Structure 1
Amino acid sequence: MHKLIKIIGTVAVINIVARLLGFLREVAIGYKYGTSTMADAIAVAYTIPNFIYLVVGGALTTAFISVYHSSDSDKNYFVRKAFTSVLVTVLTIVVLIILLTDPILHVFFSELNPDNNRIVRNLFLWMMPSTIFLVLSTWMSGLLNLNGLFTLSSVAILIYNLLFVLIGFTFTSVFGPLSYGIGAFVAAVVMGGFLYVGLRKSQPYSFKPLFTKSPDVIRMWRIALPILLGGASLQFYFIIHRIVAAGLEPGVISSVNYASKLTGFPQAIMMTAVTTVIYPLLSKKEGEGDDKTIRSLYRKGMVYLVSLLVPVTVIAYIFAEPLVTLVFGYGNFTQESIDQTVPIFKVFALSMFFLASNTYITRFYYAKGNSVIPVLFSIINVFVVNLIVIYSLLGSFGASAIAYGTVFSSASNFVMLFIYAKMKWRL
């Protein structure tokens, strides 16, 4: 266990730097554009590409890891088949979405004015192709983690965030908001190349496409589809944020984005480090039938989350204004922008523990081969509890109602997941 904690600590340190760089991108956008319509446009343009990257990439990678340990077929053969399946899937999705760009943007963001719509469209067409490399990078990172090469996959995220912020900030005076679209694409290509080279040097896998049928790949998809639906429902939090905020006054989209990113920073560091290391181990222990170790990992992880995130939540809530000012209060992020963002951030802070715990507990469901129940709970909470809370409070609390929806629905989801796991597996 000591060795496991040491590995988690190493991955956490790298992820802290990587996440800081990613967060610096939001700070740079705030510095240049504040909570203006330009900042809104950047946040909106990244919503759908990010949605696909996290949902499709996350689901296929999680399912791949689950099947890898239990597969009886040649590992190199399975890797080739899985890589081919992931590549064809993401290429098909991206091409279809690019062809349907205008109707998609109209359906999801119909409230945008013509100027914003033009900016969003141009940004979107730059950012969308980056999704191909992001999904493939997620899958390659999973393969590296299976082989114990956790550091390499974490460094790749660091490189991606560094390039994204450097290109976006450096060239914004030349290309305007479009620089962040260019940055997203270039950074994703470089990260994908870095991981590919690292894999080829460290492991003798072949990535030559292989289109023959494979029972293991079919099983991978059977596992992935429920996970994909569950991940999609969770990522719909952010799409709902954008859709509701688009109907409010200008600048609300970016204020909600800044507040949610600042809230997500500590939980992302914790969950990325823990799940990167623990999930491959969980899958292995489940395959061995080692329920004792699984229960031990579960309980220790929950203790870590409570001891780390509850104090962070209290600090974030009490010191919300100085924190927002310290992080974003530069350049065009004026006092007005601060006043608009602080109330939203305070409410979002209350969801930190619940969102992190939901991600953590769900990994144990996946390891147990149960991906249906988390999907059901997510759909109920994101699309029912969340929307009821938002539209019930919108008239009284304005943009903060969006954050309240996340708090109440994530707390409800946590209770459901926790109780079911306790009853079903005595976790």
Structure 2
Amino acid sequence: MSRLLRAGAIMAAGTMVSRLTGFLRTAVLAAAIGTTTLGDAYNVAYTIPFILFDLLIGGALSSVVVPMIVRHQKNDPDGGVAYEQRLLTLATSALLVVTVAAVWLAGPLIELYTSEMSPRGLEVTTTLAQLILPQIAFFGLGAIAGAILNTRDRFAAPMWAPVLNNVVVIGVGIAYLTLTAGHSEIEEVTSGELALLGLGTTGGIVAQSIVLVVALRRSGFRFRPRFGVRDAGLGEMARLGSWGFAYVAITQLGFLVTTNLATGAGSRAIDEGVIYGAGYTPYNYAYQLFQLPYGIIAVSVITATLPKMSRFVHDGQFAEARDAFSSGVRLVCAAIVPASLLLMVLGPSVTVLVFGHGANDVADAIYIGNVLQVYALAMVPFSLFQMLLRVFYSVGDTRTPAMFAAMNVAINAGLSLVAFYTLPPGFIVMGLGLAFTITYVVAAGVAWVVAGRRIGGLGGREATAGLSRMFVAALPATLVALTVLWAVDRLFGITPLSSAVVLAAGGGLGGVIYLVIAHRMRIPEVNSIVGMVAGRVGR
């Protein structure tokens, strides 16, 4: 527990700074380009490289690549160095080829995700995509470097490197905002302004990748190009990775449906005179905010847990693997539970503070906050589901996660289509968030049962009891935050300044109350976190 807590703390610190600077990045870009059509164009173009990267290698990193690197480190006479060099060479070379093809096919790719966008919107989105798609090659280089670092228990650089990326793009956003004075519309945006947005965004990923490569070298890794495929384990990787690829492909199919419905909702809202942005950009921004607690807390613990579980499983120590999983779940939920409840109350306050500036007004920001409140319902089941997937990956099972992906996409797509065709335009995106929540409630429950059978139980009763105690400790904190929100809104209305007061007083006081009550209730994970922080402060 203590080693996992220390590793998680190192990553959480980096991830917190990364996510907070990411918030600032998102806020600056939102102020510069807004949440309507130009915002949709940028965010769709920005998403395509992530989709292609996930399809080609991103999904395989956690399901196949990390366990295989660990195995070669244990079994190869050179500690897996040659395998790591070959993997880095082949992955980067392949992604360079894919990058060239993606830039060439940018137009058709964009049309897949924007079925109802105007001709000018398609033109701008395609131009931005051509400038942003070169990120794919740098994603691959950085991701493989990060995976190798993680297997060597070097967690800091992969979590801190995105900070530089965010700083670069923040600078780009400020330059764009200064250039356009916050009045940039999609019909008026120039090729030079698009070049600033697109090339500046790509420059951020380039900087991030350089940091990871330098960190990898400092860890003792020396790169030498190895193009031979005989010892690359491609056969085994293809066998195991085929299901990982299927998992990503299925989830991206679901994302394709969601993106089309969200952009369609935005077009429909404009046609029907809805004054606030109600399309893909609010959906995307709310999702990014939803990912903050998950990214700071759950991703850090998951990243530290997977190599550890893989080693235990490799050595046949299933009891230790179960303990590692159980410790990870408790650590995650100790922070995710109060974060979920507080976001359900304070979502609009967060978004008004972050997005209520520049090209956006308070109504735009409140709408994003309403979507975020719906997403907050999914935070616990989503985090649990992601932890449960690592149980299957640690035993070399990539087929079961792919089956879960198919189930999730079927549920989410079905519910999203119902929302799109039954709700008014202004409520469609919130309906998409609710579909997401229901999907992961079902997925987490089913995955828990199946994963428990795979490794001899997951301690369901103990987990349920622990979660119940965490919710009990978090409820008074939530009520305090709700009271502060009501009082400030009644006295001062909803403005960025009043939202900052609500977050500082309601969120801050609520967090302290949760920690005090959880400590009094002797919830061990909270006590461990408090003890570690108190020890560091006292030094």
Length-normalised TM-score, structure 1: 0.94
Instruction: Give 1:299 shift.
Output: 1.3
Summarize deviations over 1:11-44 as a string: whole Å, max 9, x none: 1011100111122221112212332211111111
Q: Which amino acid aligns with 1:225?
A: S
Q: Provide the rounded CA distance (Å) in 1 between the counterparts of 2:451 and 2:197.
A: 42
- Asked if 1:17 is matched to 2:17, the reply is yes
Find the counterpart in structure 2 of residue 217 from structure 1: 234
- Asked if 1:189 is matched to 2:232, the reply is no
Instruction: Give 1:288 shift.
Output: 1.2
Instruction: Give 1:233 shift.
Output: 3.0
Instruction: Give 1:142 shift.
Output: 0.8
Q: Secondary structure at the match of 2:372?
A: helix
Instruction: Give 1:205 shift.
Output: 2.9
Q: Provide the rounded CA distance (Å) in 1 between the counterparts of 2:4 and 2:148.
A: 18
Equivalent residue runs for 1:139-218 within 5 Å: 139-174=144-179, 175-214=192-231, 216-218=233-235
Q: Provide structure 1 residue ranges, at least 5 long, that are not aligned to the other structure.
A: none
1:35 to 1:212, Cα distance in 2 relative to 1, 3 A: closer
CA contact (8 A) 1:84 1:211 kept: no
1:48 to 1:287, Cα distance in 2 relative to 1, 3 A: same
Which of 250, 260, 270 pairs up with 2:287? Answer: 260
Q: Which amino acid aligns with 1:363?
A: R
Q: Provide the rounded CA distance (Å) in 2 between the counterparts of 1:363 and 1:406.
A: 21
Equivalent residue runs for 1:27-426 within 5 Å: 27-62=27-62, 63-71=64-72, 72-73=75-76, 74=78, 75-174=80-179, 175-214=192-231, 216-250=233-267, 251=277, 252-382=279-409, 384-394=410-420, 395-396=422-423, 397-425=427-455, 426=457
1:278 to 1:200, Cα distance in 2 relative to 1, 3 A: same
Q: Provide the rounded CA distance (Å) in 1 between the counterparts of 2:144 and 2:212.
A: 10
Length-normalised TM-score, structure 2: 0.75
CA contact (8 A) 1:59 1:228 kept: yes
1:239 to 1:352, Cα distance in 2 relative to 1, 3 A: farther
Q: Which stretch of structure 1 is more off in the superposition, 329-338 or 215-224?
A: 215-224
CA contact (8 A) 2:112 2:256 kept: no
Find the counterpart in structure 1 of residue 480 from structure 2: none
Q: Which amino acid aligns with 1:86?
A: A
Q: Which amino acid aligns with 1:84?
A: T
Q: Provide the rounded CA distance (Å) in 1 between the counterparts of 2:360 and 2:44.
A: 18
CA contact (8 A) 2:310 2:394 kept: yes
Q: Secondary structure at the match of 2:8?
A: helix
Q: Provide the rounded CA distance (Å) in 2 between the counterparts of 1:95 and 1:372.
A: 31
Q: Provide the rounded CA distance (Å) in 2 between the counterparts of 1:20 and 1:8.
A: 17
CA contact (8 A) 1:283 1:367 kept: yes
CA contact (8 A) 1:34 1:334 kept: no
Q: Which amino acid aligns with 1:145?
A: N
Summarize deviations over 1:205-244 as a string: whole Å, max 9, x none: 3231322412623323322221232234334554333211
CA contact (8 A) 1:260 1:345 kept: yes
Q: Provide the rounded CA distance (Å) in 1 between the counterparts of 2:364 and 2:200.
A: 25
Instruction: Give 1:135 shift.
Output: 1.8
Q: Provide the rounded CA distance (Å) in 1 between the counterparts of 2:166 and 2:244.
A: 26
Q: Provide the rounded CA distance (Å) in 1 between the counterparts of 2:194 and 2:379.
A: 30
- Give the paired residue count: 426
Q: Provide the rounded CA distance (Å) in 1 between the counterparts of 2:26 and 2:332.
A: 25
1:220 to 1:203, Cα distance in 2 relative to 1, 3 A: farther
Which one has the largest radius of gyration?
A: 2
Q: Secondary structure at the match of 1:303?
A: helix
Higher relative contact order (CA 8 A, sep 6+): 1
Q: Which stretch of structure 1 is more off in the superposition, 72-81 or 312-321?
A: 72-81
CA contact (8 A) 1:35 1:255 kept: yes
Q: Provide the rounded CA distance (Å) in 1 between the counterparts of 2:433 and 2:229.
A: 47
Q: Which amino acid aligns with 1:186?
A: G
Q: Provide the rounded CA distance (Å) in 2 between the counterparts of 1:217 and 1:403.
A: 38
Q: Secondary structure at the match of 2:358?
A: coil
Q: Provide the rounded CA distance (Å) in 1 between the counterparts of 2:53 and 2:296.
A: 18
Summarize deviations over 1:111-156 as a string: whole Å, max 9, x none: 1112211211111011110111012101100111111221122222
Q: Provide the rounded CA distance (Å) in 2 between the counterparts of 1:145 and 1:165.
A: 28
Q: Secondary structure at the match of 2:100?
A: helix
CA contact (8 A) 2:4 2:301 kept: no
Instruction: Give 1:69 shift.
Output: 2.4
CA contact (8 A) 1:41 1:116 kept: yes
RMSD: 2.0
Q: Secondary structure at the match of 1:319?
A: helix
Q: Which amino acid aligns with 1:43?
A: N
Instruction: Give 1:87 shift.
Output: 1.6
